[in-house]
Amino acid sequence: MKNKLLLLSIFLTAILVLAACGSDKKENSGSSSATDKDNTFTVGLEAGYAPFNWTQLNDSNGGVKIDGNKEYAGGYDVEIAKRIADGLGKELVIVKTEWDGLVPSLTSGKIDAIIAGMSPTEERKKTIDFSENYYTSNFVMVVKKGGPFEGATSIQDFSGAKVTGQLNTSHYGVIDQIEGVKKQPASDNFPAMRVALESGVIDGYVSERPEGISASSANDKFAMVEFTDGFVAPEEETAVAVGLKKNSDLTEKINEILAKISEEDRQEIMDAAIKNQPAAE
């Protein structure tokens, strides 16, 4: 009987020891993941809005590996993200995210910041915070080269034209300033708008000047139209800033880093991005 009790006691002790080991392993695993997250700066962007951001096949011209993907991201936003990550002393992680998924990814904690050519509009500020601006531009129209709208000087020259812009952006909203325009359904992304323009589905799409230069450089069938009588928009809609969670402790740190990037450096980074964009963009 005593031998049986002794064996039972040893058996129960062994179970308790194994359970304790399993508990320790789980706790250590959790702390390791938390440490990894503390050492990374995770940025969301479309990787489809050249020259701000695009997708490429390798790390040429400073491309950064896209998380969970064999592809890389490049462009102006990526270069700014790299400088911010360096300033924070963290490893940059790029997460390719659809435009409409960027804000939900940020608020849910999947990413630490949005660096995606996003304008700090009052509507967006209701949900997220923004850093100081890291680029400011103006609205243009991208059209077919040699077409009836290439020589336009006023946005009203597009009366009767089929025009679109990206979904949930100021680009799409300002189209209403054109009298008699045939406003088309908003597009999910810029590559889709370029395809629609080349195929004749639309006559033009609204964009910002860097993207307009990018589009006309990448495709010799496109032309960028700048206006003497153009769209009226507040600076918040033509500027871009880093999107951050409400009351994020990163905001002040990122503003300090951005303040050290001169306007001359920013323009040089943009010029390089326009030059280095993939031809297919």
For 35-78, how does the pLDDT look when each residue is reduced to its tens digit (9 = 90+)?
A: 467 899 999 999 999 999 999 999 999 999 999 999 999 999 99
**pLDDT of 80-111, one tens digit each?**
999 999 999 999 999 999 999 999 999 999 99
Residue 28 in this model has a pLDDT that exceeds 60: no
User: φ, ψ for residue 154 (rounded to 5)?
Assistant: -125, 150
- Which residues make Cβ contacts (< 8 Å) with residue 264, sequence separation at least 6? none
- 237, 117 contact by CB (below 8 A): no
Structural domains in the chain, sorted by start: 37-136+236-276 (3.40.190.10), 139-225 (3.40.190.10)
pTM score of the predicted model = 0.77
**pLDDT of 188-210, one tens digit each?**
999 999 999 999 999 999 999 99
Residue 264 in this model has a pLDDT that exceeds 50: yes
- Which residues make Cβ contacts (< 8 Å) with residue 158, sequence separation at least 6? 141, 149, 152, 178, 181, 203, 204
Residue 34 in this model has a pLDDT that exceeds 90: no
CA–CA dist 210, 276 (Å, integer): 13
- Which residues make Cβ contacts (< 8 Å) with residue 199, sequence separation at least 6? none
- Give me Rg for the CA atoms of the chain: 25
**C-alpha atoms less than 13 angstroms from C-alpha of 184 in its C-beta half-sphere:** 20
Lowest average pLDDT, out of 4-8, 24-28, 213-217, goes to: 24-28
Give the residue from 140, 182, 177, 172 showing the smallest Cα distance to 156.
177
- Which residues make Cβ contacts (< 8 Å) with residue 112, sequence separation at least 6? 40, 41, 42, 43, 106, 244, 250
Peptide bond connecting 51 to the previous residue in cis, omega within 30 degrees of 0: yes
Residue 9 in this model has a pLDDT that exceeds 60: no
